Amino acid sequence: MAIKTIINAAGRSVPLEINGQPVIPFKGVGKHRPEGGKYSPPIPTCSDYPDDGNKVVTSLEEALRKCGLRDGMTISTHHHLRDGDLVSNKVFELASAMGVKDLVWFPSASFPCNDPVIKYLDDGTINRIEGSMNGPLGRYVSEGKMKGTAILRSHGGRVQAIQDGEVKIDIAVLAAPTADSYGNAKGTGGTSACGVLGYAKADSMYASKVIVVTDNLIDLPCFPMEIEGNYVDYVVVVDKIGIPEKIVSGTTQITKSPDRLLIAELTTTFLEKSGILKNGVTMQAGAGGTSLAIAVFVHQILKNKGWKSKFGFGGSTKYMVKMLEEGQMGFILDAQAFDLDAVRSIENNPNHIPYPVFNAYNYHSKGNLTSMMDIMILGATEVDLNFNGNVVTHSDGYLLHGIGGWQNCLHARNVILPIPLFRDRIPVIVDEVTTLCGPGELIDVIITERGIAINPLRQDLIDSVKGSGLPLKTLKELKDEAEKICGRPQKPQFEEDIVAAIKWVDGTIIDVVRKIKSG
Amino acid sequence: MKNTIAISGNSGPKVRSDCEITLELKTEGGIIIDLVSKVEALFGESIKSLISEILEFFGVKNALVKINDSGALPFVIAARLESAVKQLINTDLDYLPEFIKENGYSTIRDRFRFSRLYLPGNTPGLMINAGLHSADGIILDLEDSVAPEKKDEARLLVRNALRQINFCGAERMVRINQGERGLEDLHFVIPHNVNLILIPKCESADYVKSVENEIAVIKTKLNLNNQVFLMPIIESALGVENSYEIARSSGNVVAIAIGLEDYTADLGVPRTAEGKESLYARTRLVVAARAAGIQPIDSVFSDVGDMEALKQNVLTSKALGFEGMGCIHPRQIPVIRQGFAPDETDMEKSKKIVLAFETAKLKGLGVVAMGTKMIDPPVVARAQKTIDFAVRLGLLSGNWIDDIPVKEN
């Protein structure tokens, strides 16, 4: 069956319908205007819930049955337990045993620990995944093995889709490190602490049914609650919701690679010489080794100059916590904790504030935290000559990563991508990105070990580093340099079939991923 | 029976930017290429055509080539395949990748040699970006960092690296092996614009001369006129005793270095952080180098994780009179460079002394004085040396005197 496609505002051929539902092609940054009201889940009544507030049921299976689990439902989970998650897979194991088919799994992200769901995709329990797909899951989708079409959204786009009713969650299964019998829940405490539960907040508010799964049931009230009990239908107590050492890294580490450190150094020098780094600066840096090194170098500059960052936006790590504790950062607003120091800090430091993604990233809301950030350090698998970025596929065409908060963060004032010019033999700067995830107009600076390219749209930044001695080059020059070393890569071959759609932050379709041509 | 299978290169989970090639000569069936590569989707065709081209170059018509590739660049694949071919057939041919024009530079005798970065000669992954870290010299090592059974293939890899990798102005150095093998090594590198040869475990002036002669033979044969400097490394008690003779053995010797791991082993004492056991050797080496008018270079510091200890080590080294040291990790380069450069107080003091000297000269005074203190000529000379040093490093402008506001008095 031929699928009707159209060329969207980014010049990409995208379908008008995905999984039997109409979709809107990307119209340009800030161009799509949503209409109508927000989605609202069914109205509950207290008369259906126990007066004593005790919503504990004996097992996850019982909870799923009571929620009316049936074919075709959408099941959401969150990824705060990261690679230590023991709950998501269990849901589909039970569903498969119950003979339920064609579910839609709507995780906030997936990890290698979720690879076992491949067997529930194979046996028809799951029709499709709408969320990130890494490693083997991505390979599975790229090879066209998933029945439905995958939909990838940013963290903010996921909240937008929930709020706008693009995705109606039938059952949210929310793992909680600590909860009470009423369903109030938080990310700290117990043996499976993950710090915060920000990604699960929208699920709890908009899902028709909500199940909280915990291995640390405490007396009411579980405080401060991130998930509020009045949204919760059932509470399930299990032995273990996660494997602690895989939930957070014991400790995150800055990169040891001399080339990555060089990139981090160059980035920091750029931030300093361009004047972006200043007293009161607001910033976000992820948990990647290069970003962490930048955070360490930036911290040193703040310290030397007696400056202070007004606030930093997490994913938090021990390096950000160190800034907070040593007085170079006023607050950490946090959507997820990457290591044990970050978890400890959230528990103990009143200036380290859990901050739901809901408030930070959602594009269909009355303001957006990311556009208030001065410095945004991000990565990419590819960047093209128009500064467009790709984070979901590799140059060989395989889907290998989720979008995470990447698209949302592009709205920051200065979006800087410190990336190696080539990985092994694979050049990072290409003529045209394999998959478009972020429009080039939002990407300001590319920093590689062999030079810095500033987006011509940012004349102010170009002027700010004139005569600074920094190795400024055009993207074309950098691309030529890489290809001189690596050779010019051939293009991966695709079939016509669309295996995944990439949503922009406003719910429109910015690009699609096609099936890899089988050898 | 003659061997028909050869293996070259490296593979394994930790190997990057390299490949392992198994070449099996056949009597029929043409060329069959069995490629496993993490970059196959992007470079599969180009790898296969490169392999075919090289086999044709060597006249191999029938062979099975298995290549296990972890993102090797073309010059690496070429070196690996050539090495496999040469294990199986006798040939005078060399498959030379393009000599990139950026690599044609020469260096000068008295350039700075603060930091010189060692790169294991059979590990391509570490070579590709080495030039970006601003070392004064890059050493492609054929000696201790290459396993004995990999020595032959390393020669081809180093040769190709000299042609293909841009080391961004760093002095292009090769450390050859000891003895006869070292002299053979020269044939693989001298034709490819090496700036300097490091001679390891050097114990006599005669050996330096034999290296120099071999280089001259190669240059004459190929009609080359590039300058090749020499840096003998002293690594034994005998070497230390002969250090002055070694230092002045040839006009091409621009520096001598000391290697303390082997030296302390030769003495039969442990190498300590404090370095008391090698103090005599180090100072002896400095004196020998100075007497011969060349640069004394210190041993490498092997704890790559401890930058503070490295810094202290550099300061000690500088205080003993050394002008540089080896590095085994790029992160050591800035620490070493900064350590050997004159510090702020030193520069300020020297400026005052030189200024006082210039003023005295202008006034026709025979004695230089600062305040009530007399300044001896050697003190002036040392200050002038520090200033020249700072100017050459770009820490001080060449007309710094003119930049000082004139005081009326």
Question: For A95-120, how does the pLDDT look when each residue is reduced to its tens digit (9 = 90+)?
Answer: 999 999 999 999 999 999 999 999 99
pTM: 0.91
Domain at B220, CATH number: 3.20.20.60
> Quick one: tokens of A95?
């569903």
CA distance A136 to A111: 10
One domain, residues B123 and B73: no
> Given the DSSP bridges, would you call strands B295-297 and A445-448 parallel, antiparallel or unpaired?
unpaired
Domain at B16, CATH number: 3.30.230
Least-confidence region, from A192-201, B111-120, B326-335, B367-376: B367-376
Using CA coordinates, name the residue in chain A closest to B16: A424
Domain boundary residue, one of B304, B324, B340: B340
CA distance B17 to B125: 5
Domain range A58-130+167-247, CATH architecture: 3-Layer(aba) Sandwich (3.40)
Nearest-Å Rg of the Cα atoms of chain B is: 25
pLDDT on residue B409: 45
Cβ-based contacts under 8 A for chains A and B: 58
One domain, residues B362 and B310: no
pLDDT on residue A144: 96
Mutation site for B-interface testing, chosen from A425, A431, A483 by largest number of B Cβ within 10 Å: A425
SS3 A414: strand
Name the residue with tokens 């969650």: A169
Q: Do B176 and B186 contact (CB within 8 A), yes or no?
A: yes
Give A401 to chain B, closest Cα distance, Å: 17
pLDDT on residue B343: 83
One domain, residues B46 and B121: no
Residue A22, C-beta contacts closer than 8 angstroms, at least 6 positions apart: A16
Residue-range definition of the domain harbouring residue B294: 102-340
One domain, residues B288 and B365: no
Reported as a single tens digit per residue, the pLDDT across B44-100 is 999 999 999 999 999 999 999 999 999 999 999 999 999 999 999 999 999 999 999
Residue B82 lies in a domain: yes
Least CB–CB distance from B43: residue in A423, A485, A487: A487
The CA-atom distances, in angstroms, between A14 and each of A5, A167, A491, A504 are: 5, 20, 20, 12
Residue A190, C-beta contacts closer than 8 angstroms, at least 6 positions apart: A177, A178, A214, A215, A216
Answer positive or negative: Cα dihedral of B262, B267, B271, B274: negative
Residue A88, C-beta contacts closer than 8 angstroms, at least 6 positions apart: A77, A105, A107, A110, A114, A117, A173, A175
> Quick one: tokens of A333?
């607003």
CA distance B6 to B27: 16
Which positions in chain B have a beta carbon within 8 angstroms of at least one beta carbon in chain A? 16-17, 38-46, 70-74, 128-129, 132-133, 329-331
> Given the DSSP bridges, would you call strands A178-180 and A185-186 parallel, antiparallel or unpaired?
antiparallel
**Section B180-208 average pLDDT:** 97
pLDDT on residue B376: 83
Domain boundary residue, one of B340, B359, B394: B340
Give B359 to chain A, closest Cα distance, Å: 36
One domain, residues B194 and B150: yes
Q: Do A324 and A337 contact (CB within 8 A), yes or no?
A: no
Give A351 to chain B, closest Cα distance, Å: 34
Name the residue with tokens 């614009």: B193
Contact between chains at A258 and B17 (C-beta distance less than 8 A): no
Residue B370 lies in a domain: yes
Using CA coordinates, name the residue in chain A closest to B329: A258
Reported as a single tens digit per residue, the pLDDT across B348-383 is 888 888 888 888 888 887 778 887 788 888 888 888
pLDDT on residue A437: 98
Contact between chains at B74 and A426 (C-beta distance less than 8 A): no
**Section B218-240 average pLDDT:** 97
Cis (ω within 30 of 0) for the bond into B13? no
3-state secondary structure A296-308: HHHHHHHHHHCCC
**Section B2-21 average pLDDT:** 93
Residue B189, C-beta contacts closer than 8 angstroms, at least 6 positions apart: B140, B155, B158, B159, B162, B174, B176, B197
Least CB–CB distance from A258: residue in B17, B41, B133: B133
One domain, residues B51 and B67: yes
Answer positive or negative: Cα dihedral of A134, A137, A143, A146: negative
Question: Which regions of chain A are under pLDDT 70?
Answer: 1-2, 519
ipTM over 0.90: no
| Confidence bin at B391 (pLDDT 50/70/90) | confident
One domain, residues B114 and B73: no
SS3 B65: strand
Residue B408 lies in a domain: no
One domain, residues B12 and B157: no
One domain, residues B368 and B397: yes
Give A108 to chain B, closest Cα distance, Å: 29
pLDDT on residue B2: 67
Is the pLDDT higher at B299 or at B390? B299
Mean pLDDT of chain B: 93
pLDDT on residue B405: 65
> Quick one: tokens of A158?
């996921």
Q: Is the pLDDT of residue B1 over 60?
A: no
Q: Using alpha carbons, select from B68, B33, B74 the residue that is nearest to residue B52.
A: B33
Residue B284 lies in a domain: yes
pLDDT on residue B305: 86
CA distance A383 to A476: 11
One domain, residues B234 and B303: yes
Contact between chains at A258 and B330 (C-beta distance less than 8 A): yes
Q: Write the burial class of residue A257 (CB in 10 Å: 0-12 exposed, 13-18 middle, 19+ buried).
A: middle
Domain boundary residue, one of B290, B308, B340: B340
The fold for domain A258-494 equals Glutaconate Coenzyme A-transferase (3.40.1080)
Q: Do B91 and B301 contact (CB within 8 A), yes or no?
A: no
Give A490 to chain B, closest Cα distance, Å: 5
pLDDT on residue A2: 62
Q: Is the pLDDT of residue B106 over 90?
A: yes
| Confidence bin at B408 (pLDDT 50/70/90) | very low
**Amino acid letter for position B385:** K
Nearest-Å Rg of the Cα atoms of chain A is: 23
Q: Using alpha carbons, select from A212, A240, A234 the residue that is nearest to residue A85.
A: A240
SS3 A217: strand
Q: How many domains does chain B have?
A: 3
Reported as a single tens digit per residue, the pLDDT across B13-35 is 999 999 999 999 999 999 999 99
Does A258-494 match A58-130+167-247 at the fold level? yes
Domain residues of chain A, as ranges?
A: 58-130+167-247, 258-494
pLDDT on residue B394: 78
| Confidence bin at B126 (pLDDT 50/70/90) | very high
One domain, residues B384 and B318: no
Contact between chains at A485 and B38 (C-beta distance less than 8 A): no
One domain, residues B166 and B208: yes
